[in-house]
Structure 1
Amino acid sequence: MTSRQRRMGDMPLVLLILYTVFIGFITLTPMQLDVSPAGPIGRLLQFFADHQVTSWLTYPLVEKLANVAMFVPFGLLVALHVGRRRWWVGWAVGAAFTCLIEGTQATLLSPTRYATISDLITNTLGAGIGAVLALVLMTLLPPRGGPEEVDRVVR
Structure 2
Amino acid sequence: MTARDHRTVGAPLALLVLYTLFIAAITLTPQQMGTGPDTLIGHLLDLFAAHRETAWLTYERVEKLGNVAMFIPFGFLAALHFGRGRWWLGFLFGASFSAAIEIFQGTVLTQTRFATLSDLVTNTLGAGIGALLGLCCMAVWPARTARAGADRELAAV
- The TM-score normalised by the length of structure 2 is 0.86
Could you say which residue in structure 1 is the equivalent of 2:99?
Answer: 99
Identity of aligned residues (%): 57
Could you say which residue in structure 1 is the equivalent of 2:126?
Answer: 126
Deviates more, 1:10-19 or 1:37-46: 37-46
Q: Letter of the aligned partner of 2:138 in structure 1? A: M
Q: Letter of the aligned partner of 2:110 in structure 1? A: S
Deviation at 1:143? 1.2
5 Å-filtered alignment, 1:28-43, equals 28-43=28-43
The count of corresponding residues between Structure 1 and Structure 2 is 143
Could you say which residue in structure 2 is the equivalent of 1:44?
Answer: 44
Inter-partner Cα distance in structure 2 for 1:101 and 1:13? 20
5 Å-filtered alignment, 1:1-155, equals 8-144=8-144, 146=148
Inter-partner Cα distance in structure 1 for 2:144 and 2:131? 19
Q: Letter of the aligned partner of 2:59 in structure 1? A: Y
SS of equivalent residue, structure 1 residue 85:
helix
Inter-partner Cα distance in structure 2 for 1:144 and 1:63? 40
Structure 1, residues 61-98: CA drift from partner, whole Å, max 9, x if none?
10000000000000011110010000100000000000
Inter-partner Cα distance in structure 1 for 2:6 and 2:136? 22
Deviation at 1:6? 6.3
Inter-partner Cα distance in structure 2 for 1:7 and 1:34? 40
Inter-partner Cα distance in structure 2 for 1:74 and 1:129? 10
Q: Structure 1 8/132 Cα, relative in aligned 2: closer, same or farther at 3 Å?
A: closer
Structure 2 residues not aligned, in runs of 5+: 150-157
**Are the equivalent residues in 1 in contact too, given 2:76–2:132 (CA < 8 A)?**
yes
Q: Give me the CA root mean square deviation.
A: 1.5
Q: Structure 1 49/66 Cα, relative in aligned 2: closer, same or farther at 3 Å?
A: same
SS of equivalent residue, structure 2 residue 144:
coil
Hey, which of these two has a bigger chunk of helix by percent? 2
Q: Letter of the aligned partner of 1:57 in structure 2? A: L
Structure 1 residues not aligned, in runs of 5+: 148-155
Deviation at 1:144? 3.1
